[in-house]
Amino acid sequence: MSDRARYDELVETVNENSYLYYVKDAPVLSDFEWDQLMNELLSIEREHPDWIRPDSPSRRVGGTALDAFEKVTHQIPMLSLEDVFSPEELTGWLARAEKEIGSQSEWCCELKIDGLAISLIYQDGVFVRGATRGDGHVGEDVTANLRTVRSLPLKLRGSVPGLLEVRGEVYMDKTSFEALNRRREEAGEALFANPRNVAAGSLRQLDPTVTSQRNLQVFLYYVMNPHERGFETQSDCLNWMASVGLPVQPAWRVSRGTAEAAQFVEEWRDRRFDLSYGTDGVVFKANKLSDWDLLSATSRTPRWAVAFKYPPEEKTVHLDAIDVSVGRTGVITPVAIFQPVVLSGTNVSRASLHNGGEIARKDIRVGDWITVRKAGEIIPEVVKSDASRRDGTQTPFIMPERCPSCGHPVVQLQGEAALRCQNVSCPAQMLARLVHFASRGAMDVRGLGEALAQQLLSSRLVVTLADLYRLTADQLAGLERMGEKSASSLVQALEGAKKRPLDRLLVALGIPLVGPSAARALVGRFGSLEAIGQATEDELSKVEGIGPAIAGSVASWLADSANRALLQDFSSLGLEACTSREPTQPAQPGPWTGQVIVFTGEMASMPRSQASELARGLGAKVTGSVSSKTTLLVAGEAAGSKLDKANSLGIPVISEEEFLSRLQAAKSTL
């Protein structure tokens, strides 16, 4: 077999097994076998880049970040659906439609996916473009980001000639959403309200590599111009899409008459909570496509479809206690404890209260009767307390002054609502810290995962992070599932990790608010740990991209005696990151030199850290707080006190869209 034939075979094999894994949930190959095939494919593509096919699985990895999204005009508008909220409203809507049809109706009942509407274009079976709904008439080209969605086929199965447009929803499943919010809570960041917000923000990231990390999924439910392909019903469309490899939400059926349609609503009222993805209702479409023509559409909504929305489920419970937990970064989180209650199909007895400020704002006291629900039908939350039911036995909750795990004093960093324990050796944090320290974005110690980390801590072979570099092969070989070869490999990996640069060490230490961007900025300005440690908080805050909040976090962390001892230990063990070196040269001037920019609120197209780097790349100074020196504030969604201060100081405020427009214009001058 020739190399080209082998390459084509690999593309087909990997794509077929991706379909079986991500769409059918019936994998045939082991992860190892899949990796072997993928590595062989990538090797051939490196040698023959001109062979790379549009449907190659390598096209799923994130590519170059975009400056902005191109606009896409939908040839047929993406209309909204009319909503009904009660069984009576639904029955009335269906009865009116049936009267216009003139005979007993036939309805295709489909669960309503809580995601972001998209349009996909295939040419001769190959995916060529994807766009958001936008305003229904004009959306944004998010093709690069959609390529990272594993369940979306880059090539359809069988022969699908010509141009095909299908529409559906991009969503995030419950497990991925919970994991993402858990990471954000541990980092002291604002939580996402629901999976739909995450899906929308993730799909509009300018950097596809960010989207690829969000584990998005897709369901398709609509074929454009179905008559042209010989379809007579919506159920024909759904069955055909599934046959060519397009993911279709499986919980659908055809009901005859309004009574059967209403029965579908009741059937899924509770069953929907058992699904791995969020649903907030049922969509009813006239199943016969000929009825679509009879019922027609308004300028905003089709008259052949309607969406029934389930009401949010809330329960009133007695707040028995408020406990506190300690996250990886030391965030102290109060947790409401109450008797188990069924919410969205599962027993719930705990709900995060986020921080002391949130408890005070909602005036929640131990002994109160509280209303609880699941945010996005996934994350338990406390909505409010009922002050009218108090009898004088309720007690206000006071956040602890010391860590409940290690007794270390807790601190509240500037710009944060959460309290933190900054003891790097805190038992409640050590397991997660150890895993984070060894992770790929930090010190990248291959072979050190959570199971082994737990053994190292339980056996007391590791008490502080520095103890990792004291481990011997003999010690490791005595652990469960660690033979001599694995032990020797880990020791070698730890030795190699001593050569990681300082910015990677700063990230690995888990200093609150210090991510890769802030770490690079600090290293670029000061060059060494010694110089960073000797800098005042004011000097740290003046570094581009740092600002008072990060400066306060770094200064507070380095002032802790336990943390200073850890760094000295690292130095004595030979970590190259702890040796002194000269700072790098400052960035070259650019078209935004002289601008002092502050970002606030949630950005949909990219993380604020990425926006800051782009602005700095054009010569701007980016700070974390608004002052008289600020020349521009970029306000995303849910902008807070920074926006108020900017307005009071008369500082110009622009939207995220305006920032992207100015960014593109500035880059064109380079």
- 71-84: pLDDT as tens digits: 899 989 998 888 89
Distance CA 449, CA 454 (A): 9
Per the annotation, where are the binding residues for NAD(+)?
Answer: 80-81, 110, 133, 169, 285, 309
Q: pLDDT per residue over 492-538, tens digit each?
A: 999 999 988 898 899 899 888 888 778 888 888 888 888 888 888 88
Local confidence band at 577 (pLDDT 50, 70, 90 cut-offs): confident
* 428 CB-near residues (< 8 Å, 6+ apart): 325, 326, 403, 404, 405, 406, 421
Band the pLDDT of 615: cuts 50, 70, 90. Answer: confident
Average pLDDT on 556-581 reads 85
Does the structure show a pLDDT above 70 at 559?
yes
What share of the chain in percent tops pLDDT 90? 33
Instruction: Give the integer Cα–Cα distance in Å for 637 and 241.
Output: 36
Is pLDDT at 583 greater than 90 in this prediction? no
Q: Which two structure tokens, joined as six digits, stand for 313?
A: 């489920």
Average pLDDT over residues 46-69: 70
Pairwise CA distance, residues 259 & 255, whole Å: 8
**Active-site residue list:** 112
User: Quick check: helix, strand or coil at residue 155?
Assistant: strand
Q: Does pLDDT of 235 surpass 50?
A: yes
CA distance 283 to 295: 16
Q: How many percent of the chain have pLDDT more than 70?
A: 92
User: Which pLDDT belongs to residue 185?
Assistant: 66
Q: Is the pLDDT of residue 617 over 50?
A: yes
The CATH number assigned to the domain with range 427-573 reads: 1.10.150.20
User: What's the CATH code, domain 71-309?
Assistant: 3.30.470.30
Q: Give me the helix-helix angle, 3-22 and 31-47, nearest 10°.
A: 140
pLDDT at 65 over 50: no
| Average per-residue pLDDT for the chain | 85
Pick the CATH number of 314-373+380-412 from 2.40.50.140, 1.10.10.10, 1.20.1540.10, 1.10.1740.10: 2.40.50.140
Q: Is residue 586 pLDDT above 50, yes or no?
A: no
Binding-site positions for Zn(2+) read 403, 406, 421, 426
CB-based contact 155:126 (threshold 8 Å): yes
d(CA 196, CA 194): 6
End-to-end C-alpha distance for the chain, whole angstroms: 49
pLDDT computed for residue 590 by the predictor: 79
- Tokens 């608010």 belong to residue: 513
Binding-site residues from annotation: 80-81, 110, 133, 169, 285, 309, 403, 406, 421, 426
State residue 584's pLDDT score. 47
CA distance 205 to 616: 19
Q: Who has greater pLDDT, 530 or 258? A: 258
How sure is the predictor about 239, in pLDDT bands with cuts at 50, 70 and 90?
very high
369: β partners? 318
245 or 669, which is more confident = 245
pLDDT in tens, 118-161: 999 999 999 999 999 887 888 889 998 999 898 999 999 999 99
Determine the Cα–Cα distance for residues 408 and 557; give it in Å rounded to an integer.
13
Q: Where do runs of H (alpha helix) occur along 459-578?
A: 473-477, 484-497, 502-508, 516-526, 529-534, 537-541, 547-559, 561-572
C-alpha 501/C-alpha 445 separation (Å) is: 14
- CATH homologous superfamily for 596-668? BRCT domain (3.40.50.10190)
pLDDT of 335 reads 94
Q: How are beta strands 419-421 and 379-385 bridged, if at all?
A: unpaired
As given in the structure block, the two tokens for residue 572 are 């004595």
Rounded Cα gap, residues 362 and 360, in angstroms? 5
Q: Which amino acid is at 608?
A: R
Q: What CATH homologous superfamily does 3-59 map to?
A: Helix hairpin bin (1.10.287.610)
Written as six digits, the tokens of 227 are 């008559």
pLDDT tens track for 294-329 = 998 876 789 999 999 988 778 899 999 999 988 777
Structure tokens at 484: 């001599």
User: What is the C-alpha separation between 529 and 18, in angstroms, rounded?
Assistant: 45
With tokens 């029934």, the residue in question is 308
* Dihedral sign for Cα atoms in the order 529, 531, 534, 540: negative
pLDDT at 62: 45
Q: What are phi and psi of 490, to 5 degrees?
A: -70, -40
Tell the burial category of 229 from Cβ atoms under 10 Å away from its Cβ (0-12, 13-18, 19+): middle
Q: Which residue has the higher pLDDT, 24 or 547?
A: 547
Q: Is 504 left (phi over 0), alpha (psi -120 to 50) or beta?
A: alpha
pLDDT by residue (tens digit) across 338-354? 999 888 777 889 998 98
Does position 484 have pLDDT exceeding 90, yes or no?
Answer: no
Rounded average pLDDT over 97-115: 89
What's the pLDDT at 63? 46
Q: Hey, what's the torsion of the CAs at 659, 663, 666, 670, to 10 degrees?
A: 170
pLDDT bucket at 21, cuts 50 / 70 / 90:
low
C-alpha span between 400 and 162 (Å, rounded): 65
Distance from C-alpha of 48 to C-alpha of 43, rounded to nearest angstrom = 9
Q: How many CA atoms lie within 13 A of 57 on its CB side?
A: 25
- Judge if 314-373+380-412 and 427-573 fold alike in CATH terms: no
**Highest-confidence range of 22-26, 52-56, 365-369, 371-375, by mean pLDDT?**
365-369
Looking at per-residue pLDDT, the higher value among 455 and 425 belongs to: 455
Residues, the chain: 670
52: CB partners within 8 A, 6+ apart: 45, 58, 59
Phi, psi of 401 (to 5 degrees): -90, -15
Q: How far is 329 from 248, CA to CA, in rounded Å?
A: 40
Confidence class for position 624, pLDDT limits 50, 70, 90:
low
pLDDT (0 to 100) of residue 89: 92
Three-state DSSP class for residue 1: coil
Name the band, by pLDDT with cuts 50, 70 and 90, for residue 190: low
Q: Do residues 526 and 586 lie in contact, with contact meaning Cβ atoms separated by under 8 Å?
A: no
Res. 23: pLDDT tops 70: no
| pLDDT-based confidence at residue 64 (cuts at 50, 70, 90) | very low
**Domain boundaries along the sequence of the chain:** 3-59, 71-309, 314-373+380-412, 427-573, 596-668
Closest listed residue to residue 233, CA positions, set 251, 250, 256: 256
624 half-sphere exposure, CB direction, 13 A CA radius: 21
Q: Which secondary structure element, helix H or strand E, spans residue 144, and what is its range?
A: helix 143-146
Mean pLDDT of 378-395: 90
pTM more than 0.75: no
C-alpha 519/C-alpha 546 separation (Å) is: 9
Task: Identify the H or E element spanning 176.
Answer: helix 174-186
